[in-house]
Structure 1
Amino acid sequence: MTERPTFDELFDGCRRSAVHLEMRDMYTPDDPAYIDWKAGVPFDPVERFRDWYDLIVATVGRGVEVRRARIVSEPVTDFIRHEFEVTPLLNIPAGERVRWLPRRLASDLALPGNDFWVFDDRLVRFGHFAGDGDYLGQEIVEESAVVKLCSSAFEAVWERAVDHQDYRPQ
């Protein structure tokens, strides 16, 4: 695929499922929401991330299942604690199902080297990040072996992971 679809386009084309596996302990360190959270500045995650919230609400409203699994190191980083606190205010109300897996419980799982989204078991969107968490870009792959690898990796993590409501970050 040569064009670079936006998240809106990927979700608009999705009919059954969108799954996301996150495996990093730090993302976008310059994110204003994260900076505000670290400083103790209150903010409304839905208003701050209105486009994302509306996109997920519309996607789930069409009957698409949206699931997110996060593999995290423990003790968790400040960024992961920030994500944990925002999840019940943003992701879950939008309709995402979210689970957490401590990294020590993922050692025997075969995982791709980058975070990814799989849409309808037909294409993968890899997200590329620098070591410090800066976003570098995306890569879209439709090769069936890669889609199968990512789908099976996600399901293995999902099966082992803890629902957000039951996870307690260390």
Structure 2
Amino acid sequence: MAVPTFEELLASAQRSAIHLEMRDGYMPSDPAFAAWKEGKLTDPVGGDADFQQWLDWVSAAASRGVEFRRARVFSVPESDYIRFEHFSSAANIKAGEDVRWLPRRQATDIAFPGNDFWVFDNELVLVLHFTGDGELAPDGLELTRDEHVLRLCTAAFEAVWERAIPHADYQLS
């Protein structure tokens, strides 16, 4: 199945978009992450055109009534990248996402798929494949409507969401 762009996926979503992140680090090559680590990024958007574009897509979909929920499962103490995500989540929330945090130790009894994913309108799963260092793999996007994958992903997400801590209430260690 050909994989549409994120912009196309978000534009076609009618009701919901859920995203589960389970890695402690992503894209170390991200200039915004590097700037944040150096103490040079004080604004979550920080002139990052790609991030601003993402926020615009989310905002447009949310204004059409699409519900966005993002949950993160992570190790404590938090990695630098998780701290960066916590810092930048205010912009995601302002654009229309609801974000929650679940320390990995509180997720031991949850059955997870092997990869991060998005589910659109409870019918389409976008699986994200990353390299060992956290970069998106060259063939890193896989789209499926497989019912087994859909059930596993939505069940895992809902189990995490139920016990995860809302962004406004999660304090970094």
Q: TM-score, normalised by structure 1?
A: 0.96
TM-superposed deviation, 1:42? 2.5
TM-superposed deviation, 1:43? 5.0
Q: Which residue of 2 aligns with 1:84?
A: 86
Q: Which residue of 1 aligns with 2:15?
A: 16
Segments of 5+ residues of structure 2 without an aligned counterpart are: none
Letter in 2 for 1:138: L
The structure 1 segments of at least 4 consecutive aligned residues displaced by more than 2 Å after TM superposition are: 42-47
For the aligned residue pairs, the C-alpha RMSD in angstroms reads 0.9
Q: Which residue of 1 aligns with 2:165?
A: 162
Give 1:1-170 correspondences, 5 Å limit: 1=1, 3-42=2-41, 44-46=43-45, 47-48=47-48, 49-88=51-90, 90-136=91-137, 137-170=140-173
Letter in 1 for 2:161: W
Segments of 5+ residues of structure 1 without an aligned counterpart are: none
Letter in 2 for 1:36: A
CA contact 2:32–2:41 (8 Å) conserved in 1: no
CA contact 1:121–1:148 (8 Å) conserved in 2: no
SS in 1 for 2:58: helix
Letter in 1 for 2:25: M
Separation of aligned partners in 1, 2:41 and 2:149: 41
Separation of aligned partners in 2, 1:10 and 1:4: 9
